[in-house]
């Protein structure tokens, strides 16, 4: 849907109110969510009640048309307290970005209006068990029968899947021949209650345990014609729609990685200040100060890339390189930052009570989610090496 209205930014005061909300509503319970692998649906309901979950919607649909940079600031703030919560927020948003970018229809407008006033979650379903990064070979199919679509297939790693009310599903047109030169891909908005939709159990993950992830099974699922996300003018195929939505989301994940690195630095600074060895606080040791400064500088460099990529995106640029560069470097940065923070805690870094080991577990995901290192490098190489 064409949204040409100017984006709005969160003011410093609004951001500070959001941070207070996270501090009081999220922080006290994150440890428990992580231990139990529990997804706090109620927290997301509160986010919706306060307008945070739908702030990205255009103003005429009940949102504030929030800019990518402001959403990135929200992601950074959320990930400071909980990487998993920010991942679920991003998963929901990823589905909505596809819906909002698709050609406007009365049916989609109804769904958007409903969401602005009623809480529910959405999921974006691209990854399949046999075709991870190799997305051109996905085997979930659609076929047109009697004016509607029939979907068959299996999706994995569906963020929010056990809780979502609707699913944006990427599928390829069912073909009669084994060898297809130009397969057609389309996106469909599948309601949870559709006949033939079923789910796996929540995954037991190493990190981001407060985020729900599961499998989605589609067995002869009938999707009405108006639930196809039609490709807008300027895009060639459903894959463009999916790729553009993911590319925008990568900026937000890179911002979340900054939030996790911020927390690692915060915990390390507090711990090292009070840790006295050889008669001095460890925070006074030049080598230790150097390690913290290095992490901080790398984190701020990634943040500036998020800022650049976000502003470019909102200005209408559709060059994929800035967001892939932000995503690529953010994963490496946060893995290094949390690894050195664990080390600076010594043996206590491996003990749950100190909180730093959780960040270490969470950090690795930023090198995998929404395209692992290899995929980001391939996207950047396409531009860099084709000149």
Ligand X SMILES: Cc1cc2nc3c(=O)[nH]c(=O)nc-3n(C[C@H](O)[C@H](O)[C@H](O)COP(=O)(O)OP(=O)(O)OC[C@H]3O[C@@H](n4cnc5c(N)ncnc54)[C@H](O)[C@@H]3O)c2cc1C
Nearer to ligand X, 262 or 362 (CB): 362
**Site for ligand X contains 213 (CB under 6 A):** yes
User: Within 10 A of 268 (CB to CB), how many other CB atoms are there?
Assistant: 28
Among 10, 55, 99, 125, binds ligand X (CB under 6 A): 125
Of residues 354-373, which lie at the interface with ligand X (CB under 6 A)? 365, 368-373
Q: With b meaning 16 or more CB within 10 Å and e meaning fewer, what string describes 202-228?
A: bbebebbbbbbbbbbebeebebeeebb
User: Within 10 A of 119 (CB to CB), how many other CB atoms are there?
Assistant: 16
Let me know: does 89 contact 81? Beta carbons within 8 Å: no
Q: Name the one range near ligand X by CB under 6 A: 2-10, 28-36, 155-163, 254-262.
A: 155-163
Nearer to ligand X, 295 or 335 (CB): 335
CA dihedral of 185, 190, 196, 200, whole degrees rounded to 10: 90
Binding-site string for ligand X from residue 253 to residue 292, where x marks contact by CB under 6 A and - marks none: ----------------------------------------
**Site for ligand X contains 235 (CB under 6 A):** no
Binding-site string for ligand X from residue 75 to residue 94, where x marks contact by CB under 6 A and - marks none: ----------------x---
Show Cβ contacts of residue 66 under 8 Å, excluding neighbours closer than 6 positions.
7, 8, 9, 10, 55, 56
User: And the tokens for 335?
Assistant: 């893995």
Nearer to ligand X, 268 or 375 (CB): 375
Q: What sign has the CA pseudo-torsion 319, 323, 328, 333?
A: positive
Please compute, for residue 347, the number of CA atoms within 13 A of its CA located in the half-sphere on the CB side: 0
Nearer to ligand X, 63 or 371 (CB): 371
| Three-class DSSP category at 148 | strand
**Site for ligand X contains 208 (CB under 6 A):** yes
Query: Shortest Cβ distance from residue 84 to ligand X (Å)?
Result: 8
User: And the tokens for 251?
Assistant: 């900026």
Among 56, 96, 126, 313, binds ligand X (CB under 6 A): 126
Cα-based distances in Å from 261 to 5, 282, 284, 339, 344 = 34, 20, 21, 10, 14
User: And the tokens for 4?
Assistant: 């040409």
Query: Shortest Cβ distance from residue 134 to ligand X (Å)?
Result: 6
Query: Shortest Cβ distance from residue 108 to ligand X (Å)?
Result: 20
Query: Shortest Cβ distance from residue 127 to ligand X (Å)?
Result: 3
| Three-class DSSP category at 221 | strand
Nearer to ligand X, 54 or 213 (CB): 213
Among 20, 133, 175, 304, binds ligand X (CB under 6 A): 133
Nearer to ligand X, 284 or 373 (CB): 373
Instruction: Tell me which residue has its CB nearest to ligand X.
Output: 132
Nearer to ligand X, 132 or 196 (CB): 132
Query: Shortest Cβ distance from residue 248 to ligand X (Å)?
Result: 14
**Site for ligand X contains 206 (CB under 6 A):** no
Nearer to ligand X, 37 or 191 (CB): 37
**Site for ligand X contains 157 (CB under 6 A):** yes
User: And the tokens for 33?
Assistant: 């969510």
Cα(145)–Cα(150) distance, rounded to whole angstroms? Answer: 7
Q: What secondary structure does DSSP assign to 351-381, as a single string?
A: SGGGSHHHHHHHHGGGGTTTS-HHHHHHHHH
- Tell me which DSSP letter residue 273 carries: H
Q: Which residues bind ligand X (CB under 6 A)?
A: 91, 123-127, 132-133, 157-159, 208, 213, 365, 368-374
């Amino acid at each position: 849907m064409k949204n040409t209205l100017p984006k709005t930014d969160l003011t410093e005061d609004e951001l500070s109110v959001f941070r207070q909300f996270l501090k009081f509503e999220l922080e006290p319970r994150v440890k428990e969510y992580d231990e139990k692998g529990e997804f706090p649906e109620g927290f997301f309901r509160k986010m919706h009640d306060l307008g945070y979950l739908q702030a990205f919607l255009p103003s005429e649909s009940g949102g504030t048309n929030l800019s990518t940079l402001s959403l990135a600031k929200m992601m950074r703030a959320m990930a400071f307290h909980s990487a998993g919560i920010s991942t679920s927020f991003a998963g929901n948003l990823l589905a909505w970005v596809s819906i909002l970018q698709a050609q406007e229809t009365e049916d989609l407008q109804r769904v958007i209006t409903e969401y602005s006033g009623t809480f529910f979650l959405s999921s974006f379903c691209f990854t399949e068990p046999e075709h991870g990064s190799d997305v051109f070979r996905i085997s979930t199919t659609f076929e047109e029968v009697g004016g509607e679509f029939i979907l068959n297939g299996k999706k994995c790693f569906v963020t929010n899947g056990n809780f979502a009310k609707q699913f944006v599903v990427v599928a390829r047109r069912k073909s009669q021949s084994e060898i297809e030169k130009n397969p057609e891909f389309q996106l469909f908005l599948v309601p949870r209650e559709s006949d033939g939709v079923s789910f796996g159990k929540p995954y037991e993950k190493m990190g981001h345990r407060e985020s729900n992830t599961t499998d989605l099974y589609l067995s002869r699922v009938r999707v009405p014609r108006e639930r196809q996300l039609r490709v807008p003018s300027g895009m060639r195929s459903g894959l463009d729609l999916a790729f553009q939505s993911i590319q925008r989301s990568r900026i937000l994940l890179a911002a979340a990685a900054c939030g996790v690195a911020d927390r690692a630095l915060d915990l390390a600074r507090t711990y090292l200040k009070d840790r006295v060895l050889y008669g001095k606080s460890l925070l006074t040791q030049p080598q230790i100060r150097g390690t913290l400064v290095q992490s901080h500088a790398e984190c701020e460099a990634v943040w500036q890339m998020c800022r650049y990529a976000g502003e470019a995106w909102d200005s209408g640029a559709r060059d994929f390189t800035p967001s892939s560069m932000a995503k690529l470097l953010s994963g490496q940065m946060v893995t290094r930052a949390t690894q050195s923070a664990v080390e600076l805690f010594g043996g206590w870094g491996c003990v749950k009570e100190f909180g730093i080991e959780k960040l270490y577990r969470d950090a690795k995901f930023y090198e995998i989610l929404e395209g692992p290192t290899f995929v980001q490098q391939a996207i950047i190489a396409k531009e860099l090496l084709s000149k």
